[in-house]
Amino acid sequence: MQENSKKDIEGNGWQDAADYNIDEVIPYKLTGTLPSNYAEYETYFYEFNDIMSAGLTFDKMSVKVTVDGTTLTADQDYSLIVHSDTNSFQVRFENLKAIQSVMITSTSQIVVEYKCRLNGNAVIAGNGNPNTAYLVYSNNPNQSGGGDHGKTPEDKNVVFTYKVVVNKKDEENHSLQGAQFELRKIVNDQDEGTKIDTVTVTEGTKFNFKGLDAGKYKLIETVTPSGYNTIQPIIFTIEATYDEESDDPQLTSLTGQTEGEIVFIRKTEEREDSLSTDVINKKGIQLPETGGMGRYLIYTLGTIFVLTALGYTVYKRNRKHTEKMMFKIKKYIPDIVVAIILIAGIGLLAYPTIGDYINALHSSKAIGSYVEKTKDLSKEEKENLLREAREYNESLVGKVNRYYLNEEEKKRYAHILDITKTGIMAYVEIPKLNIYMPVYHGTDEGVLQIAAGHLPGSSLPVGGENTHSLISGHRGLPSAKLFTDIDKLKKGDLFFIHVFDEVLAYKVNQIKIVLPDDVETLEIEREKIM
């Protein structure tokens, strides 16, 4: 009796189908048994035959043959015959009865273990990459083991591998050459995963990652074409089902599941299946969206609640007729509801004021700490820090993709001007609006909820020619006033940026609404001071 099985990728057992990455090593095991009348034979011929598909590369050095756990010796106990032209091999025993190293009986199991590598000729999905095995054995004890040979039915084992095709486009369906992507395999929910491959889009709109097994992956855009926003990493999972114990295993389903808006579609071509999706880059950077009606909505709702409660109270007091037989509980329910509405309305009206007070305390404390730290700096230290900031600004002039910082650039940016180690680089003063607000590195939402943020890639706010510093802050937040009243500024109004003990004075010269993808006005203009 013969068995051909394969260990699955997690090492949890042996089965007739599994999926692997290209270049990954696949372990195989062939198990043979003997007939109950084995003792009646004087000699016994026994041969394993294995035929591999073109996608499998046989490693003859990995072959291990055992009988009941005892390892046999090649060329002494058995012969290994490799046929490179047909990608097949045989493990042949001319006479099992002649083996001296182990006692073989009718209950013995003969096991052949070996390894193959899934190579670049592998079929992608579809019918997979089969490996077929069978036994040839003595079948006539009356002829002392000679004469006719029997043959077992062929047993098929299939290895599947998959391909992900990405269509790289802009919003106008144009090819984006020069983009580079890195694919990482995520195992056990690790954050970064293990790097699988890197692909650069040199022509056309498509690129692919070929030879993937089922599992979780992260697709990261490492290089972004000039003038476009870098996409957020795409997390997706390849899911496949197949007949693990079938005589002829078939792929029954192939899907790609994502944690975002990306959609994968299975496409079947002549020789392979693939999962295809579109990845779209948008032009320009996406500026933080800072507008909002939250504060005004809170005030509106609070006013409605208060007026509703007061209106009901007036109505009740002026009502001429009251039902005398009303149950007490019914009598007081309206009053309770009105009280709740009134309290809710007052709470809503008070919430922005309380939020402003708390945020003002935070800002005052942060600025105070910044000022105290500044006092501790020597004149030489301040000059060195400012020189570093100005050199950084000079490096931005004419730089392509200056808003797309790599990891090294992010570390450098976060370090400059951060004397308190809290992220504050300066603070802004707008006398007309009575605003004193810290300016932090970056425009993450956590920053913009409490203060102003500096847009990475724009000039640091230290003044000088050929600079354009972008400072962003929210309007309309219910929890903090921040730049809510900035629309009250007019041309000619002054505002100030405090960096260490230097005060940079600016005058409003234009007022403009800028959409998140409108970056033309943000470019650094030579000979211009900001």
Q: Please give the structure tokens belonging to residue 57.
A: 């590369």
Which stretches does DSSP call E strand in 8-78? 14-15, 17-19, 25-33, 46-52, 56-67, 70-71
Q: β-pairing, 424-430 with 494-499?
A: antiparallel
- Please give the pLDDT value at position 484: 76
Q: How far does CA 20 lie from the centroid of its chain?
A: 21
- The answer to whether the CB of 454 falls within 8 A of the CB of 439 is yes
- DSSP helix/strand/coil, 6: strand
Cα dihedral 445, 450, 456, 459 sign: positive
* Spatial separation of the C-alpha atoms in residues 391 and 284, rounded to whole Å: 25
* pTM, two decimal places: 0.54
* Spatial separation of the C-alpha atoms in residues 186 and 190, rounded to whole Å: 6
Calculate Rg over the CA atoms of the chain.
Answer: 37
* Cα 160 to Cα 74, 119, 213, 244, 256, distances in angstroms: 31, 12, 7, 11, 15
* Spatial separation of the C-alpha atoms in residues 361 and 220, rounded to whole Å: 41
- Please give the pLDDT value at position 470: 87
Amino acid at residue number 285? I
pLDDT beneath 70: ranges in the chain: 1-13, 142-147, 172-177, 189-191, 202-205, 226-227, 244-246, 259-261, 270-271, 283-339, 341-342, 344-359, 400-401, 476-480, 515-522, 525-530
Give the list of residues 6+ apart from residue 228 with CB closer than 8 angstroms, or none.
170, 176, 281, 282, 283, 284
* Spatial separation of the C-alpha atoms in residues 472 and 454, rounded to whole Å: 6
Q: Where in the chain is the domain with CATH 2.60.40.10?
A: 162-281
CA dihedral (519, 521, 523, 529) in degrees, to 10, reads -150
Q: In the CATH hierarchy, which top-level class contains the domain 2-159?
A: mainly beta
- Please give the pLDDT value at position 217: 87
Task: Output the DSSP codes for 354-374.
Answer: HHHHHHHHHHHHHHHHHHHHH
User: Which helix (H) or strand (E) element contains residue 337?
Assistant: helix 328-376
Q: Where in the chain is the domain with CATH 2.40.260.10?
A: 285-530
Q: Is 309 left (phi over 0), alpha (psi -120 to 50) or beta?
A: alpha
* Spatial separation of the C-alpha atoms in residues 468 and 460, rounded to whole Å: 8
- The helices-and-strands tally (H runs, E runs) of the chain is 5, 28
- Rounded to the nearest 5 percent, the helix, strand and coil shares of the chain are 25, 35, 40
Q: Which CATH number fits domain 162-281: 3.40.190.10, 2.60.40.10, 3.30.930.10, 1.10.760.10?
A: 2.60.40.10
Q: How far does CA 396 lie from the centroid of its chain?
A: 29
Q: Please give the structure tokens belonging to residue 107.
A: 């209950």
* Spatial separation of the C-alpha atoms in residues 97 and 103, rounded to whole Å: 9
* Spatial separation of the C-alpha atoms in residues 209 and 521, rounded to whole Å: 39
* Spatial separation of the C-alpha atoms in residues 482 and 500, rounded to whole Å: 22
Q: Which CATH number fits domain 285-530: 2.40.260.10, 3.40.50.2300, 3.40.190.10, 3.10.105.10?
A: 2.40.260.10
Q: Where in the chain is the domain with CATH 2.60.40.740?
A: 2-159
pLDDT tens track for 201-214: 766 667 788 888 88
Give the list of residues 6+ apart from residue 280 with CB closer than 8 angstroms, or none.
169, 170, 171, 231
